[in-house]
Amino acid sequence: MKNNYSEKSKIFFDSVAESRYGNSKKLDKYILKDIEIDDNTTILDLGCGDGRFLEKLRDLNSNNVLYGLDISEKMIAVASSKKIKRCKLTIGDSNYLPYNDGSIDLIVCLNSFHHYSTPSLTLKEIKRVLSLDGRVIIGDIFTLPIIREMINLYLPYSKSGDYKMYSKKSLDKIFNVEGFKNQKFSIISPWLFVSVYKK
């Protein structure tokens, strides 16, 4: 059964699926400049929304396999309408990734991780599906510690199913439990960070 945060996210993102919600050019540009993809690099966009970043990944290489997963049925419908080649889209929760063990080389998760209310379960799944050398790129909301703490107090009341804003330390802590090492942490704007982990 879906938890309260997942249910709220699903309802909210279904309602904004046609509105290009979550579009962040700055985040895209920063991440895309560092990604190297060959024909065999399998990539999952976790919480892919309307598929806008999958389109950009497809522009980098037209042959590799792409996956997109999102809890919002309507977001996945919009992504499907884009008919991105060699891209398999799934409606689903981050806690249950429908991919084989070790089958994904890179997971990108943009502006979505802060919605996951049981991140330890998501991370177990991420670890399971990642290949031996796999990497995870989290791009998410950032702010100063005091503001973050205040926002975190109010998040349980958010209509869009936001669960937690992370600092580098708190994000590293949950990734470390599953044996991930942080490779890079960058604050790319007053409101956004990018953190890269390796298995």
Ligand X SMILES: C[S@@+](CC[C@H](N)C(=O)[O-])C[C@H]1O[C@@H](n2cnc3c(N)ncnc32)[C@H](O)[C@@H]1O
Residues binding ligand X (CB under 6 A): 6, 9, 13, 22-23, 47-49, 52-53, 70-72, 75, 93-94, 110-112, 115-116
Q: Which two tokens stand for residue 54?
A: 């999958």
The 3-state DSSP class for residue 22 equals coil
Complex with ligand X: residue 113 or 180, whichever CB lies closer = 113
Q: How far is the CB of 117 from ligand X (least distance, A)?
A: 8
HSE (CB half, 13 Å, CA atoms) of 170? 12
Instruction: Measure the CA–CA gap between 178 and 185, rounded to whole angstroms.
Output: 18
Complex with ligand X: residue 15 or 103, whichever CB lies closer = 15
Q: How far is the CB of 49 from ligand X (least distance, A)?
A: 3
Complex with ligand X: residue 37 or 46, whichever CB lies closer = 46
Burial profile 159-185: b = 16 or more Cβ within 10 angstroms, e = fewer: eebbbbbbbeeebbebbeebebeeeeb
Complex with ligand X: residue 40 or 73, whichever CB lies closer = 73
Which stretches of the chain are DSSP H helices? 4-15, 25-32, 52-60, 73-81, 119-129, 145-154, 168-177
Q: How far is the CB of 109 from ligand X (least distance, A)?
A: 7
**Residue 127 — φ and ψ, nearest 5°?**
-60, -45
Taking phi over 0 as left and psi of -120 to 50 as alpha, with beta for the rest, 86 belongs to left
Q: How far is the CB of 127 from ligand X (least distance, A)?
A: 16
In the block, which residue shows the tokens 């109010």? 154
Complex with ligand X: residue 6 or 42, whichever CB lies closer = 6
Q: How far is the CB of 171 from ligand X (least distance, A)?
A: 16
Nearest-CB residue for ligand X: 49
